[in-house]
Amino acid sequence: MVGAGFTEVQGTADRPGFRFGKADGDQVEAAGPEASMGLKGRYWVSPHSHIAVDLVAGTAYIPGAPTVMGWARILSALFSP
């Protein structure tokens, strides 16, 4: 199965709606698109029992996440000359 949608990160209490794009310094949430892909299976081990397997992987792109989560300060300190 394949999925697509929106995801959000938040640093403090959530505000209504999604905030897409780069984040301002006082912004508490940021959002972006996400995609996932999954596989499901059922493997019979006897006529009356089975093992169920569900494997899912996903990714998201949230440009404002480093600012909202505080990573922007850490990354700039680590990688600035």
Q: What is the pTM of this model?
A: 0.67
Domain count, the chain: 1
Domain span at residue 13 reads 2-79
Q: How far apart (Å, rounded) are the C-alpha atoms in residues 46 and 26?
A: 58
Q: 65, 28, 12, 60: which is closest to 75 by C-alpha?
A: 65
Q: pLDDT for 27-59, tens place per residue?
A: 889 999 999 999 999 999 999 999 999 999 999
Give the dihedral of Cα atoms 14, 18, 21, 24; nearest 10 deg. Answer: -30
Q: Is the pLDDT of residue 80 over 80?
A: no
Q: 29, 41, 39, 35: which is closest to 65 by C-alpha?
A: 29
